Amino acid sequence: MGLSCFVRITQLLDQYATNALVIQDATRRGTPRAMWIANSSAAIAALAKDRDIPVFAYSRDQVRDAFGSCPNKQWLAELVAKHIPAFEQYAPTAPRKPWMSEDRRMGLFDAATLGLLFFRSLDN
């Protein structure tokens, strides 16, 4: 992760007086992630811990289990859009074909599912 990105994340953590950081667990086996993503996640988690911000990391399997073993990310995005009306306009309209790239907006839904899972865990 570039220094400017790390500085910006530091600024965001400080600006919003963050109470918790929720990230995808990129350390588990079976989670195909580029090494730079795993390293970036670890650096961000370390930054949060240095600021006494609790870090919650959820794997893809935990997300799938929490949302009823969703068959694919398209289905999960549609489910999130039903629960968060502001996201409806960003939901991909058609499932992607195997040769197509993932819709660039799917990251929004990945983040939303992590947040929803975090808040669900608070209720238990």
Q: Going residue by residue through the chain, which has 124 residues, state the pLDDT in tens, using 9 for 90 and above.
A: 677 888 999 999 989 988 999 998 877 664 556 677 788 888 999 999 999 999 999 988 888 888 886 778 888 898 899 889 999 999 887 778 888 888 888 889 999 999 999 998 887 6
Q: What pLDDT score was predicted for residue 98? A: 84
Which residue has tokens 């990105």? 5
64 and 116 in a single domain? The answer is yes
97 and 79 in a single domain? The answer is yes
- DSSP designation for 59: -
98 and 72 in a single domain? The answer is yes
21 and 53 in a single domain? The answer is yes
54 and 12 in a single domain? The answer is yes
Q: What pLDDT score was predicted for residue 47? A: 92
**Cα–Cα nearest to 53, from 25, 13, 11:** 13
97 and 46 in a single domain? The answer is no
8 and 47 in a single domain? The answer is yes
Q: What pLDDT score was predicted for residue 124? A: 67
75 and 117 in a single domain? The answer is yes
76 and 39 in a single domain? The answer is no
- DSSP designation for 95: P
Which residue, of 12, 39, 58, is where some domain finishes? 58
Which residue has tokens 């609790």? 54
CB atoms under 10 Å from CB of 76, counted, come to 20
Q: What pLDDT score was predicted for residue 33? A: 60
Residue 43: which domain range?
A: 3-58
30 and 41 in a single domain? The answer is yes
84 and 105 in a single domain? The answer is yes
- Any alpha helices (H) in the chain, and if so which ranges? 3-15, 35-50, 60-66, 73-83, 106-123
What total of structural domains would you count in the chain?
Answer: 2
Contact criterion met (CB below 8 Å) for 96 and 103: yes
